[in-house]
Structure 1
Amino acid sequence: MEAKRYLVPARVHRVEQELQKSRFLTTAAPAPTVEEARAFIARVREEFPDATHNCWAYVAGPPGSTAQVGMSDDGEPHGTAGRPMLNALLHGGVGEVAVVVTRYFGGTLLGKGGLVRAYTGCVQQALESLPTLERVPKARLAIEIEYASVDGLRRMLPAHEAELVSEEYAATVGYQLLLPLSRLEAFHKALLDLTLGEVLIEVLEPRQ
């Protein structure tokens, strides 16, 4: 079960630069799924319908993952925009990210090498200043314990970054918790130690 944490965009972010009289606007956004990536790309295209090009790329997964990626040169010479943008994303250390580079042509041809450098640089510039947050894959647990273990359990929660979702009091006490997948094994062991094995634990929902 993959439990790795990684950085994702915190929100939509835009940077701008001018190269050889062409104006480049680079917009980056969260893209946890292919559908959300494509919806974001469509919104930017609608925002800049008069642009010469709206080239794009996305990685809808962990940093460096090529399982769900996409790219488009949007009319630029083949291989000069989408592929360099995707390469920059794959090596950028941020996951679940989509980027659109909007170009307004300024009259000076950049050539294939110049275009590759320009589109690569645009994505790198956006990533350098991109606000990020940490994505923490989590599990939802259902736990049933005796009343004598309640205080001990509550004291354990912060150390394991566990969040109490719900509680139910009957003959025993039932809790639902969210905690990082990476903490699951250690939490399970600590809970068995605390209760001397008198506990029911069920993983309801591992969330990658």
Structure 2
Amino acid sequence: MLESYSVPCEAIVIEEEIKHSRFISFLFHCDSFDKFKLVLTDIKRDYPGASHYCSAFVAGAPNDSVLIGSSDDGEPAGSAGRPMLAVLQGANIGEVGAVVVRYYGGTKLGVGGLVRAYTSGLRQGLVQLPTRLKQLRYPAKLHCDYAQLRDVEHLLQQVDAVIIDKQFAEAVDIVF
């Protein structure tokens, strides 16, 4: 099980023209399916009239196989969304979403050409994508005497724990 992993700390946009079609690739932080839908809706609003809005996301840890999804959005099956998802999963970055907007330029690319076109911007963007380390935290409780409190707080600070609550009674209850 992963204790930490990289996540995007800001969004990035890569734009390229491939055989007269315009491809605009967006990479962004995405920690839930709802967040992904909001960003996709915003992109559709900001880039109206596009032929396709293909997408993929990994909303959890990089190796998560549950919080993932992809869409070909009308392109031939398996030519956009699935390859995009494979690129995201291979980048070893969690909580990442991708949308590629295509404005059709009149030249058919074929399935292989579509796969290359939809993944090209993502590959370029993932190299440039600023990330930060996400440390996984697990909730815990501790019961100690007043005399032990200083040592316990010091130990929790050493392991980068975050103290959420302290209750003072006959003894001290710490939630961290």
Q: Assess same fold via TM > 0.5.
A: yes
* Structure having the higher Rg: 1
Query: Could you tell me which residue of structure 2 aligns to residue 33 of structure 1?
Result: 32
2:165 corresponds in structure 1 to 166
Relative contact order, CA 8 A, sep 6+: which one is greater? 2
Q: Corresponding residue for 1:180?
A: none
Alpha-carbon separation, structure 2, partners of 1:60 and 1:155: 34
Aligned partners of 2:147, 2:103: CA distance in 1, in Å?
68
Per-residue CA shift, 1:37-94, capped at 9, x if unaligned?
Answer: 2232222122212112111111222213322322211222222111211111111111
Residue 3 of structure 1 and its aligned partner are, at CA, apart by 4.9
**Alpha-carbon distance in structure 2 between the residues aligned to 1:71 and 1:3:** 23
- CA–CA distance in structure 1, aligned partners of residues 122 and 103 of structure 2: 16
Root mean square deviation, CA, Å: 1.9
Aligned mates of 2:55, 2:151 — CA distance in 1 = 51
Which aligned segments of 4 or more residues in structure 1 are displaced greater than 3 angstroms?
none
Counterpart secondary structure, 2:3? coil
* Counterpart contact for 1:64–1:91, Cα < 8 Å: no
In 2: Cα distance, 1:61 partner to 1:122 partner = 22
Within a 5 Å distance, the mapping from 1:102-181 to structure 2 comes to 102-177=101-176
Deviation at 1:27, TM superposition (A): 1.0
Per-residue deviation, 1:95: 1.4
Amino acid at match of 2:102: R
Equivalent in the alignment of 2:90: 91
What does residue 7 of structure 2 align with? 8
Alignment of 1:71 with 2:79, yes or no, is: no
Residue of structure 2 equivalent to 1:49: 48
Name the aligned partner's letter for residue 50 of structure 2.
A
Aligned length: 176
C-alpha distance in 1 between matches for 2:141 and 2:74 = 53
Question: Equivalents in 1 of 2:82, 2:61: separation in Å?
Answer: 18
CA distance in 2, matches of 1:3, 1:37: 23
Identity %: 36
Whole-Å Cα distance in 2 between the matches of residues 74 and 166 of structure 1?
47
Q: Residues 59 and 68 of structure 1 are in contact (CA less than 8 Å); yes or no, is this contact kept in structure 2?
A: yes
